[in-house]
Chains A and B, each alone.
Chain A
């Protein structure tokens, strides 16, 4: 029974990682940028939700929507101001900028409100279900469902819709995409908007589930989500989800075996092992350059 419970624990944890990783992987997939600020957009989403619920007295869904909109706008703004100019420079320059943006968001936020954490109000009634003697909360189930639905939705957008094709075209060759009549700037903005909105949603859900939010809360989940995305094959949407679950389960198993201090190390070891045997992640196609 303990282990069934641990499995559920792992899935719940993993679906949070997966949720953040979806947006990460999406942005990465299109402009090949490790958007380190993604975790901070997630943080802003969490605080927007907090503000919406406790100050504006909104209920869950409107708060979620508001957070998603705010984050979408923030994401697009970041892209327009900080990343757009760097499209033709090295990836590493863009990465450093992303680190800079991440620090800037964190510390501007701290400058204006301080670093102290905030407790999330309870907006969703919480029930606990018993499955095979293990307990699982309604919130975990909700997160799991939201993650799976968003994953399917995203996969559909990127691979079936017209805008998705445009995104992938832009991802590969911006000039050639332009020649198809694609508006590259708008396509990238849409990508950022979707990715950031997802981060915002993840922020609110994280807040509700874990109840604690603070200005630096995005760093660790951001990093973990990035690991999850890489595990699954970065840029690949179902990969992000599977990577998230895998990471969640591995971490839980390690903690449950009494090695909680080695949990993060275990996460990285799994990552490295998978990369050694599958250098592009679980679902990554080994994109060896054709010679």
Chain B
């Protein structure tokens, strides 16, 4: 079958990418710094793609994604550091608890629209952050020291799983239901789609992967602090999604890669980095308000199905 075939092509490509990079790491062509940048890129892609499902696909304007990142980070850190359980389990727990948080946040807020939804999600993210700030068990403001266990392989595996799940979800009747909500909620409702249900589902899946990203994040940066998960972090994730092109999964991936590299590169330009960063944002938005990819996908450039309008990655 064509679809199955595509899946194996995707896997083959994934394995090739992995092998090349792993080779570069073992031969020490990539030093620790490059490897770290790769891990950060993987984490950021997971974040971008998980938010893409909520904003780009379902059209729900959530700007509090860092809250779920925080939940994942803290839960995974508790599992490994306090309970001394294995890291993969911690990652899973991070995803699950973040998904539960997504459910708790999503049910009341997703009935709100537009900017009201935006500010409510931002509010929830801040509440989550303040909760961690006030729990002494996780170190309060000073944060928690976490030993570094994230490595390139595990980040890559998580990234692949995220991509597969989200692409598969998007390219199914369920993903179409979400897109329908984005396009016209009243009509979607009239077509028999339980709009609340799908908004919450998209939100929960998005939160789950943000939680996974949080687990990787916590075990990559030695320390987690509530201050790292403020609304500016949420904006960073939002920026990946919008800059890449709302509704384009490959756009989100691409901009997560680009912006992470730009940001790492700008470390050397301490005083001017924020000026450059903000100028990039403004200029891209002014001259390409639809984002780098618009609503197109990378695969559109290779296939003849140019007019396929349902976005979110090709079928796997």
Bound pair (A, B): yes
Chain A interface residues (CB < 8 Å from chain B): 28, 32, 34, 82, 85-86, 89-97, 99-104, 106-108, 111, 223, 226-227, 230, 234, 261-262, 264-265, 268-269, 271-272, 275-276, 279-281, 289, 291
Residue of B nearest to A227 (CB): B119
**Known: A261-B130, A280-B116. Contact between A103 and B286, CB under 8 A?**
no
Q: Is B186 an interface residue (CB 8 A)?
A: yes
Within 8 A of A (CB), among B274-291: 274-275, 277-279, 281-282, 285-286, 289-291
Residue of A nearest to B236 (CB): A99
Give the interface centre of B119, B239, B285 by most chain A CB atoms within 10 Å: B285
Q: Which residues of A are found within 8 Å of B130, using beta-carbon distances?
A: 261-262, 264-265
Query: Within the complex, which residue of B118, B272, B286 is in contact with A97, where a contact is CB–CB below 8 Å?
Result: B286
Give the interface centre of A34, A82, A275 by most chain B CB atoms within 10 Å: A275
Hey, what's the 0/1 contact readout for B48-63 against A, CB within 8 Å counting as 1?
0000000100000100
Query: Within the complex, which residue of B120, B186, B242 is in contact with A275, where a contact is CB–CB below 8 Å?
Result: B120
Q: Is B127 an interface residue (CB 8 A)?
A: yes
**Known: A265-B130, A268-B124, A272-B124. Contact between A90 and B116, CB under 8 A?**
no
Query: Within the complex, which residue of A94, A96, A111 is in contact with B238, where a contact is CB–CB below 8 Å?
Result: A96
Q: Which residues of A are found within 8 Å of B231, using beta-carbon distances?
A: 223
> Is B289 touching A101 in the complex (CB atoms < 8 A)?
no
Chain A's nearest CB lies how many Å from the CB of B195?
14
> Is B282 touching A82 in the complex (CB atoms < 8 A)?
yes
Residue of A nearest to B108 (CB): A276
* CB-defined A-B contacts under 8 Å, sample of 22: A86-B289, A90-B290, A91-B115, A93-B242, A96-B239, A97-B286, A99-B239, A101-B278, A102-B278, A104-B279, A107-B274, A107-B278, A111-B275, A223-B231, A227-B119, A268-B126, A269-B123, A271-B119, A272-B109, A275-B120, A276-B111, A279-B112
Q: Which residues of A are found within 8 Å of B277, using beta-carbon distances?
A: 103
Give the interface centre of A82, A96, A103, A226 by most chain B CB atoms within 10 Å: A96
Q: Which residues of A are found within 8 Å of B239, using beta-carbon distances?
A: 96, 99
> Is B123 touching A103 in the complex (CB atoms < 8 A)?
no
Q: Is B134 an interface residue (CB 8 A)?
A: yes
> Is B278 touching A92 in the complex (CB atoms < 8 A)?
no
Q: Which residues of A are found within 8 Å of B274, using beta-carbon distances?
A: 103, 106-107
CA distance A97 to B275 in the complex (A): 13
Q: Is B148 an interface residue (CB 8 A)?
A: no
Across the A-B interface, the 4 shortest Cβ-Cβ residue pairs: A100-B281, A268-B123, A89-B289, A103-B278
Residue of B nearest to A101 (CB): B282
**Known: A262-B134, A264-B130, A279-B116. Contact between A291 and B238, CB under 8 A?**
no
Q: Which residues of B are found within 8 Å of A90, using beta-carbon distances?
A: 246, 289-290
> Is B285 touching A272 in the complex (CB atoms < 8 A)?
no
> Is A111 touching B286 in the complex (CB atoms < 8 A)?
no
CA distance A22 to B272 in the complex (A): 33
Interface of B is mostly: helix
> Is B119 touching A99 in the complex (CB atoms < 8 A)?
no
Interface contacts beyond A89-B289, A93-B242, A279-B112: sample of 6 additional A-B pairs, CB < 8 Å, sorted by A: A85-B289, A86-B289, A223-B231, A264-B126, A275-B109, A279-B113
**Known: A104-B278, A291-B186. Contact between A96 and B285, CB under 8 A?**
yes
Give the interface centre of B108, B119, B271 by most chain A CB atoms within 10 Å: B119
CA distance A91 to B242 in the complex (A): 11
Q: Which residues of A are found within 8 Å of B286, using beta-carbon distances?
A: 82, 85-86, 97
CA distance A82 to B289 in the complex (A): 11
Query: Within the complex, which residue of A92, A234, A271 is in contact with B61, where a contact is CB–CB below 8 Å?
Result: A92
- How many B residues touch A, CB cutoff 8 Å? 43
CA distance A264 to B286 in the complex (A): 34
Q: Which residues of B are found within 8 Å of A92, using beta-carbon distances?
A: 55, 61, 242, 246
Residue of A nearest to B283 (CB): A100
Chain A's nearest CB lies how many Å from the CB of B65?
14
> Is A103 touching B116 in the complex (CB atoms < 8 A)?
no
Q: Which residues of A are found within 8 Å of B113, using beta-carbon distances?
A: 279
Residue of B nearest to A279 (CB): B112
Q: Which residues of B are found within 8 Å of A227, using beta-carbon distances?
A: 119, 123
CA distance A280 to B239 in the complex (A): 26
> Is A34 touching B115 in the complex (CB atoms < 8 A)?
yes
Q: Which residues of B are found within 8 Å of A34, using beta-carbon distances?
A: 115, 118
Q: Which residues of A are found within 8 Å of B124, using beta-carbon distances?
A: 268, 272
> Is A268 touching B127 in the complex (CB atoms < 8 A)?
yes
Q: Which residues of A are found within 8 Å of B271, using beta-carbon distances?
A: 111
Within 8 A of A (CB), among B6-42: none
Q: Which residues of A are found within 8 Å of B55, using beta-carbon distances?
A: 92
Q: Which residues of B are found within 8 Å of A276, using beta-carbon distances?
A: 108-109, 111
Give the interface centre of B133, B186, B242, B246 by most chain A CB atoms within 10 Å: B242
Residue of A nearest to B123 (CB): A268
> Is B119 touching A226 in the complex (CB atoms < 8 A)?
yes
Residue of B nearest to A102 (CB): B278
> Is B131 touching A265 in the complex (CB atoms < 8 A)?
yes
Q: Is B243 an interface residue (CB 8 A)?
A: yes
> Is A97 touching B119 in the complex (CB atoms < 8 A)?
no
Chain B's nearest CB lies how many Å from the CB of A125?
38
